[in-house]
Structures are given as C-alpha cells and as structure tokens.
Chains A and B, each alone.
Chain A
Amino acid sequence: MDDKYKFIDFLGLRFNVANDLSALVAAILVFILVFSLSRKITMKPGKAQNVLEWMIDFTDSIVKSAFPDGSGSRFSLYAFVLFLFIFVSNQLGLIFQIKVDGFTYIKSPTTNPLITMSLALISLMLAHYYSVKKFGFGTYLSNYARPVSFLLPINLLEEFTNFLTLSLRLYGNIFAGEVLLALIGTVAKSFGLVSFVVAIPVEMIWQGFSVFIGAIQAYVFTTLSMVYISRKMERE
C-alpha cells in the first residue's frame, strides 16, 4: 500500500521504525502471554498452565513430526517461540494499526518482507549451523552433491528457493490480508452510510479469515523451518 514510514539511520544501518516498533510490541505481547500463563507452575496444572502446556505440546508435535527419531528436542524452544512470535505478529495488524500524521507506527511486522526474510534466515542459519556441527564442514559441503553429483546445481538452487518461499509465503499471505482489509475499509468510506453498512460484515468476515490465515501461516512457517533443519541434519 501507499503507507509512509519513518526511518532512523543509526551506525550506518537504517531502521524502519514501524517494523521495529511492531516487532518489539509483538515480542512483548508474546512475553506477557507466556509470562502470565506460567506464574503458578504446579504438578497438578491449573487453567493457565494447561493452556501453556497445550501450546508447548502443539509445537513439540511439530518438532516431533519433523524429527521422528526424537533428536529434535533441542529445537523445541525455538519452534515454540517462533510459532508464538509469528502468530502474534500476524494478528497484531488485524487488531490495531497506529498511524500518526500519515506515518505508520504499529502494524503486523510480518507484512514486511525484510522481517519474514530475517525470520527465514534465522531458521536456515540454524539448519546450516547444525548440519556443519553434525557432519563437519567437508561432509556438509559434499552433502550438496548427494544423492548424485549432477544434482549439485539443483541442490544449491534449492537453498535459495527454500529461503525465498519460506519468507515470501508468510509475507504474501499476511500482506495480502491487510491490503484487502484496507481496501474494504476504503470501500466502507466511499458511499457514506450505505457502503459502511455493507462493508462491516464483509470486513468482519475477512478479519476472521485473516485470523485463520495468520494461525495457518505461523504453523506452516514453523513446520517448514523444522523440516528444513531436519533435512540438513540427515544424509541422503
């Protein structure tokens, strides 16, 4: 869309205020969520603890499906935080967006490709790091020529497509959802009261659908991250 952003240049790096502020808000919301759910940890779980354990079981099942041999338990925390962070980020822009003087300050951080690319980069860096750690650098490199050597260019290309599809899938879904929300918003304002009344249920439906998409995309991103990591850690 035609949003305008404030930029801050600091130490030669450029910061998009809207992205950083939104990501920070999302991170703080995630922390508040798990912090408030984990105040009374007991052997017999209460309601809050049950919710938290349910979420942990959910992300654990994602990790287990990617690592059937059970070696993926060290990625459980990463999957948990990743899932919650992306989920909250996706919903953030649906709940509230803050614009001051035409400049956006709070939105879904995942509507920016740089943010999703950063997250995808974290996942893929983890994958490569643990691959090197497990096989050693030489075997890690030779894994690109497996199972047969002429697949080497395809395997190299796959690394980039993995990165791009992982990040841009999330970005595209969430960005499109918010674009459509904004479009419905402009429709609502276009013909006064009539269009407003018509647009409200449509907006509600699309918001509900976006919540659904946000949850699905968080699940897909976490699942694919785990799959990429587990594929880097096995020899074909």
Chain B
Amino acid sequence: MASLLVLGASKIALGDMLFILISFILLSLAVKHYAWGPVTKMMDARSEKISGDLDYADQERARADKLGKEREEALKNSRAEAIEIVNKAKDNGDSQKKAIVADAHSEAETVRTKAKQDAEKAKQDAMQDAQNDIANLSLEIASRVISKELNADDQKSLVDSYIKELTVNNETK
C-alpha cells in the first residue's frame, strides 16, 4: 500500500482519481436531479406554506378579536339604548299621568266653581223671590190687618226696613 504513495513508484493508479472524480460528479448530478431538487423544492414550499399559514392565522385571529370587540361594543350600546328607551317611556308615562291628573283637577275645579256660582245665583234668586214674595205677602197681610191709610210705597219701604233690620240681625247673629 505504501508504494502507492511514493511518487515515482513504477505504476500509480492515477486513473482511479479520474474515475472517482467522474463518478462523484455523475452521482451528484443524478442525486440532484432525482432526489435533492424535488425534495428541497418541496421543503422550501412547505416552509413557505407554514409561514403563510401562520401569517393567515394571525390575521384571522386579529379579525376575530376585532369582531368580538365590535360585538361587545354593540351589546353595550344596545343595553344603554334599552335603558334609555325604558327611562323615556317611564318619563313619558309620568308626565302623561301628571297631565291627566292636572286636567282632572282643573276640570273638577271648574265644575265645582260653576256649581258654587250656580248655587249662589240660585240662592240669590231665591232670596230675591222670597224678598219680593214676603214683601207682597206682608203688604197684603198688612193691608188687610192694619188700616188702609198706608199706601203701597210706604208699606214697602216699611217692610224693606224691617227686612234689612232682620238681615242685619241675622248677620250679627
């Protein structure tokens, strides 16, 4: 074996070097064409796909987060809106109730005052009538009972004064 290494030894198998070189190059080319090329291409494609998928997942998650936040916001808004609506309805009901009660009050008041006025008027009328009747009656009674020297006017004034006295007496009582 050592003789192979000594330069100038009668015969060195230098053809082996050439053979190895050529076979190695051919092997490299064959491996590249049949195995290395397709596999590395697929590996690159896979790593690209994985990073793409990861990016896509990130995007999707961000979108889902955004959507969720929007939903939450909308929910919160709708709740506030509902509360507002209920409050408004309550306010409306209150004010309506107040208005109705106030209307009823005022109507009752007018009815009462009118009734009072009517009653007053009726009382006045009745008093007037009674006054006249009493005057006529007493005049008649007086004309019948006492002498005929008193004329009607004197009689009336007499009765009036008498009644006035009566009413004054009544009021003071």
Contacts and interface: CB of A to CB of B under 8 A. Distances in A.
A7 interface: yes
Interface string A16-37: 1001100110010011001101
Contacts of B11: 7, 14
Q: Is the interface of A mostly helix, strand, loop or mixed?
A: helix
Interface string B1-17: 10011000001111111
Interface residues of A, number: 45
Contact of A13 (B14, B39, B43): B14
Contacts of A81: 24, 27-28, 31
Nearest to B19: A20
Nearest to B32: A77
A112 interface: yes
A14 B35 contact: no
A49 B151 CA distance: 152
Q: Is the interface of B mostly helix, strand, loop or mixed?
A: helix
A42 B4 contact: no
A24 B23 contact: yes
A22 B28 CA distance: 17
Contact of B14 (A14, A38, A42, A84): A14
Interface residues of B, number: 33
Interface string B158-169: 000000000000
Contacts, number: 115
Contact of A118 (B4, B17, B40, B46): B17
A38 B23 contact: no
Nearest to B25: A122
A113 interface: yes
A118 B39 contact: no
B43 A118 contact: no
B42 interface: yes
Nearest to B26: A27
Given A16-B16, A115-B20, A56 B40 contact: yes
B36 A41 contact: no
Contact of B36 (A56, A112, A113, A119): A56
Interface in B26-76: 26-28, 30-32, 34-36, 38-40, 42-43, 45-46, 49
Nearest to B34: A35
Contacts of B20: 19-20, 23, 109, 115, 118-119
B16 to A, nearest CB: 5
A38 B35 contact: yes
10 contacts: A14-B11, A14-B12, A19-B16, A27-B23, A42-B42, A53-B39, A81-B27, A117-B17, A118-B17, A118-B20
Interface of A: 1, 7-8, 10, 13-16, 19-20, 23-24, 27, 30-31, 34-35, 37-38, 41-43, 45, 49, 52-53, 56, 76-78, 80-81, 84-85, 109, 112-115, 117-119, 121-122, 175
